[in-house]
């Protein structure tokens, strides 16, 4: 594996290997000395064209715990603001000897373009409305940790699927790993082409093992995707009453950042069923595993 | 076969006539492109009238219609005359300017269509191509107004509210790639409206770059009803599909976007049965800065002049009557270019091209005459090579090379 661009590129075996290595990385995180020497002397560039505190910090922590040198390149206040193209930026990174570039970009497919222009590995840390493969991997890791397996589980991904890179990556990866995925939301926000679709959250809840809530942005109301935030949360928001319709063992996930009161109520977000904090913790281990595998740690 | 030329006309064998021996090559009437972007004035870094004329001659063309979306926009007699003059100076093909329908292509008020029609450029085709004349009242008025000088409105059919932020064909591939979709209905709904408007006011309508099966059906029905509508399709919509966007390489980004295989099939059928009157290139040169970037930031459009005929041969085979009709006779009729689009018979202007249909060539983006390199056919091997082209008896291409 040279790059990690799409969750769809991962076979079940490759994804499982990442999750297994992530588990080993997680074990190290429990030790007093958290750092491994694996990537000493290698350079990882975090190239962030969008503000993203949690993903950038997670990648930075992952690279540092593997002893890599980390360069944070944010588009704000950089040559990019002066009009430098992605291609020219790529050449700059190439000249600096980047072994891996972690890219977050508002344009779908930007990591694919970058991969043409640098010799190092490219990790997609979220591109437009396309994909966010490490989020899907950390979600899969979280599901496996909580439920003991992924194969055969029924997963509902709820919300603004149309604009969600998290949904796309999760739908691909969880299907590869044997889960039955249903995309749920109003027809304006749930495209038919990505998998099984349901418009009726209440009907689906009793038969769901995992419910993954997506962030719904307020601006969706302005382009007629939704009549109002209130109607959305009434029909598709996860509140206490809906939580109780889930089977005993079911878990609730959210990639963050949450719109409390919109797609999820505080009662649900803070309940023991919620894995939201674990997802963040697992993110570091999973990203360590990805960097380790891509940079030839093995 | 021998072709005799005197004073720019094809003549019967006569003393003093210039003789062109076709020498086993196929002689076709000089091709006419109803839809070319030459970028001058304004974007001479992407193409000029001269470089575009070279590409056209090498593609077997003797006339091209230059779209109005230059900078400044060709919405006045002054600008269309400038483009016309540049074409004359280049002297490789007849460059016939197309005038903008609305001032600045803004879709708000009519440009001085009559002044452009009466200018030295004698504009007959008007188009806001790149933008749709979406206001129904304005479109109706434009269709009516140009009747005074037998003009035609060439519509870029795209309902703008349905294509805000659109990046590629709306379908399974766009959903997978997370690129905002350009739904087929955005084209079909405008064509449906416009054929009704043209019918209502009794005007001629030309539909640019038809790209969907539904559009073909709407036009087929309108023609059956007797509406004066003509339609064009581009070579790329006859060959390529939206799957190519999977690479995120913007060389495949074009407007209207590449569609599905079943759309391609319906478009080919439309060309065969005459629902689609012409093949036009929509030759759209772009600099590398505008293409070697993120898909969403890239400009839409592809080169077409030097590959159109080979693609027509690739798709339809050696159907010379069909190709002559769709790429020469019919576009010349629609554009009212009386000196073009005639069979190679005595008395007609000596506008023709000689091609070797058996020659195969690999498309090299840097081997094309265009200033830009954004061809989607790089590396493909295409049939049919233009060997010689003649414009009014003057050779513009000799052994595959432009003469100036």
Tell me whether A194 touches chain B (CB under 8 Å). Answer: yes
What is the arithmetic mean of pLDDT over A104-108?
96
Q: Would residue A139 count as lying in a domain?
A: yes
Cβ-contact B345, B18 below 8 angstroms: no
Write out the H or E segment, with its range, that includes residue B312.
Answer: helix B308-316
Q: Would residue B204 count as lying in a domain?
A: yes
In this predicted structure, the answer to whether residue A298 has a pLDDT above a threshold of 80 is no
Q: Would residue B282 count as lying in a domain?
A: yes
Domain of residue B213, residue span: 31-345
Burial class (CB in 10 A: 0-12, 13-18, 19+), B345: exposed
pLDDT-derived band at A77, boundaries 50, 70, 90? low
| A112/B179 CB distance under 8 A | no
Q: Would residue A187 count as lying in a domain?
A: yes
Residues of A in contact with B296 (CB under 8 A): 107-109, 128
User: Which of A254-268, B271-285, B291-305 bottoms out in mean pLDDT, i.e. has the lowest?
Assistant: A254-268
Interface predicted TM-score (ipTM) of this complex, two decimals? 0.94
Domain count, chain A: 2
pLDDT given at position B62: 98
Please confirm, yes or no, whether A54 is among the known catalytic residues: yes
Residues A138 and A127 grouped into a single domain: no
- Cα radius of gyration rounded to whole Å, chain A: 19
Q: Would residue A2 count as lying in a domain?
A: no
Residues A17 and A139 grouped into a single domain: no
Residues A199 and A125 grouped into a single domain: no
Residues A284 and A251 grouped into a single domain: no
pLDDT-derived band at A74, boundaries 50, 70, 90? confident
Cβ-contact B208, B282 below 8 angstroms: yes
Residues A118 and A138 grouped into a single domain: no
Please confirm, yes or no, whether A89 is among the known catalytic residues: no
Tell me whether A105 touches chain B (CB under 8 Å). Answer: yes
Strand residues in B204-298 grouped as ranges (E) = 205-207, 229-233, 278-279
Q: Would residue B36 count as lying in a domain?
A: yes
Q: For B72-124, how does the pLDDT look when each residue is reduced to its tens digit (9 = 90+)?
A: 999 999 999 999 999 999 999 999 999 999 999 999 999 999 999 999 999 99
Cβ-contact B258, B240 below 8 angstroms: yes
How confident is the prediction for chain A on average, in pLDDT?
A: 94
Q: What distance in Å separates the CA atoms of residue B361 and residue B384, rounded to the nearest whole number? A: 8
pLDDT given at position B291: 97
pLDDT given at position A121: 97
Tell the residue number behind the tokens 């349901």, with chain if given: A198
Q: What distance in Å separates the CA atoms of residue A110 and residue A122, rounded to the nearest whole number? A: 10
Select from A87, A110, A193 the Cβ nearest to the Cβ of B175: A193
Tell the residue number behind the tokens 């006539």, with chain if given: B17
Q: Which of B350, B336, B343, B258 is nearest to B295 (CA)?
A: B258
- The residue of chain B with its CA nearest to that of A164 is B178
Q: Residue A101: left (phi > 0), alpha (psi -120 to 50), or beta?
A: beta
Residues A168 and A207 grouped into a single domain: yes
CATH code at position B56: 3.20.20.140
In this predicted structure, the answer to whether residue A42 has a pLDDT above a threshold of 70 is yes
What is the arithmetic mean of pLDDT over B40-49?
97
In this predicted structure, the answer to whether residue B15 has a pLDDT above a threshold of 90 is no
Cβ-contact A197, A190 below 8 angstroms: yes
Q: For B149-194, how does the pLDDT look when each residue is reduced to its tens digit (9 = 90+)?
A: 999 999 999 999 999 999 999 999 999 999 999 999 999 999 999 9
Tell me whether A261 touches chain B (CB under 8 Å). Answer: no
Domain of residue A189, residue span: 133-276
CA atoms within 13 A on the CB side of A276: 21
| A109/B177 CB distance under 8 A | yes
Enter the tokens of residue A50.
């969008």
Residues A139 and A193 grouped into a single domain: yes
CATH code at position A219: 3.40.50.1370
Residues A243 and A288 grouped into a single domain: no
Question: What is the set of active-site residues of B?
Answer: 282
Cα B174-B130-A162 angle, rounded to 5 deg: 20
Q: Would residue A157 count as lying in a domain?
A: yes
- Taken in order B215, B216, B219, B224, the sign of the CA dihedral is negative
Give the count of beta carbons closer than 10 Å to the beta carbon of residue A143. Answer: 26
Give the count of beta carbons closer than 10 Å to the beta carbon of residue B185. Answer: 15
Q: What are the residues whose beta carbons fall under 8 Å from the beta carbon of A192, sequence distance 6 or more?
A: none
Residues A114 and A142 grouped into a single domain: no
Q: Would residue A37 count as lying in a domain?
A: yes
Select from B247, B292, B295 the Cβ nearest to the Cβ of A108: B295
């Amino acid at each position: 594996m040279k790059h990690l661009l799409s969750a769809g590129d991962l076979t079940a075996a490759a994804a499982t290997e990442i999750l297994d290595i992530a588990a080993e990385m997680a074990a190290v995180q429990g030790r007093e000395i958290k750092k491994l020497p694996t990537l000493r002397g290698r350079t990882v560039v975090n190239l962030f064209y969008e503000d993203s505190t949690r993903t950038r910090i997670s990648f930075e922590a992952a690279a540092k715990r593997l002893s890599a040198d980390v360069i944070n390149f944010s588009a704000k206040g950089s040559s990019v603001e002066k009009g430098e193209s992605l291609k020219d930026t790529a050449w700059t990174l190439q000249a600096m000897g980047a072994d891996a570039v972690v890219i977050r970009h508002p344009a779908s497919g930007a990591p694919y373009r970058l991969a043409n222009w640098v010799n190092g590995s490219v990790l997609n840390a979220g591109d437009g409305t396309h994909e966010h493969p490490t989020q899907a991997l950390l979600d899969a890791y979280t599901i496996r940790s909580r439920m003991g397996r992924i194969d055969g589980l029924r997963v509902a991904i709820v919300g603004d699927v149309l604009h969600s890179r998290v949904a796309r990556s999760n739908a691909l990866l969880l299907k590869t790993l044997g889960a039955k995925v249903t995309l749920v939301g109003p027809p304006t926000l749930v495209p038919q082409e990505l998998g099984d679709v349901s418009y009726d959250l209440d009907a689906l809840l009793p038969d769901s093992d995992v419910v993954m809530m997506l962030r719904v942005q307020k601006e969706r109301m302005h382009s007629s995707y939704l009549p109002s935030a209130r109607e959305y949360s009434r029909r598709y928001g996860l509140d206490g009453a809906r939580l109780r319709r889930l089977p005993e063992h079911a878990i609730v996930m959210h990639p963050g950042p949450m719109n409390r009161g919109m797609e999820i109520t505080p009662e649900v977000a803070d309940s023991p069923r919620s894995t939201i904090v674990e997802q963040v913790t697992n993110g570091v281990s999973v990203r360590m595993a990805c960097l380790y595998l891509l940079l030839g740690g093995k | 076969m021998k072709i005799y030329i005197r004073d720019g006309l094809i003549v019967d064998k006569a003393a003093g006539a210039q003789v062109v021996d076709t020498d086993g090559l196929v002689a076709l009437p000089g091709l006419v492109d109803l839809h070319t972007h030459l970028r001058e004035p304004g974007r001479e870094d992407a193409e000029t009238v001269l470089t575009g004329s070279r590409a056209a001659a090498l593609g077997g063309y003797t006339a091209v219609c230059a779209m109005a979306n230059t900078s400044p926009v060709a919405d006045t007699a002054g600008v269309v005359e400038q483009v016309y003059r540049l074409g004359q100076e280049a002297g490789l093909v007849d460059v016939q300017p197309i005038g903008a329908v609305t001032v600045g292509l803004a879709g708000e008020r009519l440009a001085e269509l009559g002044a452009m029609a009466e200018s030295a450029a004698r504009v007959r085709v008007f188009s806001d191509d790149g933008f749709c004349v979406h206001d129904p009242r304005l479109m109706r008025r434009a269709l009516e107004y140009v009747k005074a000088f037998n003009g035609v409105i060439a519509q870029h059919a795209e309902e703008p509210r349905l294509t805000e932020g659109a990046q590629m064909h709306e379908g399974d591939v766009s959903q997978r790639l997370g690129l905002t979709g350009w739904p087929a209905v955005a084209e079909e709904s405008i064509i449906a409206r416009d054929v009704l408007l043209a019918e209502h006011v009794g005007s001629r309508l030309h539909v640019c770059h038809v790209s969907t099966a539904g559009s073909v059906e709407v036009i087929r029905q309108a023609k059956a009803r007797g509406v004066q509508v003509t339609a064009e399709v581009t070579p790329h919509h006859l060959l390529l599909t939206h799957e190519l966007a999977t690479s995120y390489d913007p060389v495949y980004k074009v407007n209207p976007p590449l569609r599905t295989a079943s759309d391609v099939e319906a478009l080919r059928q439309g060309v065969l049965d005459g629902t689609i009157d012409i093949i036009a290139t929509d030759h759209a040169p772009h600099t590398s800065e505008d293409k070697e970037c993120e898909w969403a930031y890239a400009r839409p459009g592809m080169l077409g002049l030097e590959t159109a005929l080979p693609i027509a041969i690739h798709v339809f085979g050696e159907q010379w009557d069909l190709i002559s009709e769709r790429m020469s006779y019919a576009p010349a009729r629609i554009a009212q270019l009386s000196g073009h689009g005639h069979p190679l018979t005595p008395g007609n202007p000596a506008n023709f091209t000689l091609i070797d249909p058996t020659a195969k060539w690999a498309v090299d983006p840097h081997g094309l005459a265009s200033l830009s390199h954004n061809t989607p056919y790089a590396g493909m091997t295409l049939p049919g090579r233009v060997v010689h082209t003649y414009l009014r008896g003057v050779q513009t291409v000799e052994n595959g090379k432009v003469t100036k």
